[in-house]
Structure 1
C-alpha cells in the first residue's frame, strides 16, 4: 500500500516561523528565491511544509533574514528536530490519516478526549484493542499480518503516557462504553481494571458521564490535541474526529467550540474519585 506522510508538528512549526521571518523582512517569495538562486516553488514548499527543509537550506534562509545569536541557534535546533523520523514511519503500510494522527499525538503536550463508543486507544489493553482492530478487518479485509502490525502500533502509542515528559491525558467517557461488550467478560474485566490503573497515573484523568446525567452536549467522539510552544513558536490546537470512512483534522476557530464542548461534558461528568467507583462497579458486573 502506498501512503503519503503529512508534515510533522516540528516541520510545520519551522515552516511557519520561516514564513514569518520572511514577511517581517518585507520580502516576497520571489525575492528570496532570486537571492538564493532557487525557484519560487521551492520557497513555497518549504514555507508550507510540503517538503522537509534541509539544514543547509535553513541556514541560507536565516542568512538572508539576518537571524543570528540565540534565535538562530533555536531555529537550527528546531530544523534538526524536524529532520528526525518518527518511530511510526517504520510502518510504511499505515494509512496516511493514521500516520498523520500519530505524528500529532506524539508531539502533543495535552489531549482532551470525549469517548462515546470505545475506550480511548491510549488506554486500551492489548486484548481489547485486538478485538476492536479485528472489527475493522470485517470492513477493510485486512490480512492477518497487517492486523498484527496495527495492534503493535496501538501498543507503542501508549508510550507517550510514560515517557520522561508524559502526555497529559484527560478523558470523559460515556457510561455506555463501560457496558458495551467488546470480546468476552474476561476482556471487559481486564480492560476496566487497566483503566483504573491508568487513571492512577498523575498525568491521566478519567471521568465517567452517567447515562442518567443531564446531557446538554450531544456529540460523537472527538480528540482535542494541545501543544506547548517550542522555542517560542506557537502551534495551534487541533481537533480530530473520525467516522467509518473519514478522518478529519480541524484547527483554530473550530477548536474553540470543541474546547467548550469538552468543558461542558467534564462539568456534567462524575469527578475522578466517583468515576473510579463507577468503573469498579462496572468491572464487578462483568
Structure 2
C-alpha cells in the first residue's frame, strides 16, 4: 500500500512520539529499519504517520526504545491499533481538522480551555452555534451539517474526568444572535457548570489586560502527560501541538488566568447565598441586563 498523503492527527502524533523515543534511545533510522526488516524510507514514513506500523512491529520498537510498561506503552499500542473509526465518520464531508479534533476529544481525559471572545464549542447551544456559523462566510458551507457536528462533539463532555473553562467577560456580552439566543446560552453555561466534573470561571473586565486575551486555546490531557496536546484554531487552519515545552508554557498561562478569574460556580451553593462576586453572579448580572 502506498504511503498516505494526508495522515490524520492521531497518525502524525503516533509517528512523532516514535521519533522522540528513537532519538532518546540514540538509535538511527537504519537501526530501526534493520529491526523491522524494512528499508530506511519506510521508517521515515512511519515516523511521519504516512504508513502504519504492524502491532508486533510497534511492540518491538517500544521494547528497543526502552519504553517501560505503563500508561505510555499502552496508549501508543492503542493508538496504533485504533483505525480512527468513530461517530465522526458520518461527517466525512467536513474538513480534516474538524474530524481530527473530534477524534482527539474521544481519547481525552481532561480539558482546559480559554476563550476570550466566544463561548467554547463544547458548551454552545444549537442556536448559538448556528448563529456563529452563519456569521462566517457560509455561501459554500452546509450550516446544518456543521451545527449537527458541533453538537455531536458535546457527547464526550459527560465522559471526561475534568473540564475547566476560563471564559472572558467579553464572550458573555458580545451579542451572538438575539436576546433569546443569548439568554438560552448563558443559562446553558450555568447548567453545565453545575456538573461535578466541570469548572467554569469568568475573567472579568475589571482585572484589566492580560496577554492571553488575544487568542483562544485548548489543552487536551491524554492518558499520560507525554500525550497531552495543545490545540489552537485559526480562521482557515488549526495547530495540534505536541511539544512539551509549549504545552507547559500554555498550562502556566492557563493557571495564571484561572488564578485571576472569578471564583467558579459552586454546584452545591444556592445563588442567593453567594456573599462575594463570583462567576455565577456575573453571569446572572449579564442575564438581568438582557431583559
Shorter chain as denominator, the TM-score bin is 0.7 to 0.9
Whether the 8 Å contact between 1:207 and 1:270 is mirrored in structure 2 is yes
Q: Which residue of 1 aligns with 2:143?
A: 147
Q: Which residue of 2 aligns with 1:284?
A: 288
- Tell me, in whole angstroms, the C-alpha distance in 2 between the residues paired with 1:238 and 1:84: 17
Q: Which residue of 1 aligns with 2:132?
A: 132
Aligned residues: 271
Q: Which residue of 1 aligns with 2:108?
A: 108
Aligned residue runs from structure 1 range 88-99, under 5 A: 88-99=88-99
Whether the 8 Å contact between 1:167 and 1:203 is mirrored in structure 2 is yes
TM-score, normalized by length of structure 1? 0.79
Whether the 8 Å contact between 1:16 and 1:48 is mirrored in structure 2 is no
Q: CA deviation at 1:152?
A: 1.3
Q: Which residue of 1 aligns with 2:191?
A: 197
SS at match of 1:267: helix
Identify if the C-alpha distance between structure 1 residues 120 and 27 changes in structure 2 by more than 3 Å, giving closer, same or farther.
closer
Aligned residue runs from structure 1 range 1-286, under 5 A: 4-8=6-10, 12-13=13-14, 16-17=17-18, 20=21, 24=25, 27-34=27-34, 36-55=36-55, 57-58=57-58, 61=60, 65=64, 74=74, 78=78, 81-138=81-138, 141-143=139-141, 146-163=142-159, 166-230=160-224, 234-235=226-227, 237-250=228-241, 251-273=243-265, 274-286=278-290
Q: Which residue of 1 aligns with 2:271?
A: none
Identify if the C-alpha distance between structure 1 residues 32 and 81 changes in structure 2 by more than 3 Å, giving closer, same or farther.
closer
262-271 or 209-218: bigger deviation? 209-218
- Tell me, in whole angstroms, the C-alpha distance in 2 between the residues paired with 1:241 and 1:79: 22
Q: Which has the higher contact order (CA 8 A, sep 6+)?
A: 1
- Tell me, in whole angstroms, the C-alpha distance in 2 between the residues paired with 1:44 and 1:63: 16
Identify if the C-alpha distance between structure 1 residues 74 and 217 changes in structure 2 by more than 3 Å, giving closer, same or farther.
closer
Whether the 8 Å contact between 2:123 and 2:154 is mirrored in structure 1 is yes
- TM-superposition CA deviations, 1:121-140 (whole Å, max 9, x none): 000001111111122234xx
Q: CA deviation at 1:18?
A: 7.9
Whether the 8 Å contact between 2:58 and 2:77 is mirrored in structure 1 is no
Q: CA deviation at 1:204?
A: 1.1
Q: CA deviation at 1:272?
A: 1.2
- Tell me, in whole angstroms, the C-alpha distance in 2 between the residues paired with 1:32 and 1:218: 42
Q: CA deviation at 1:57?
A: 4.2
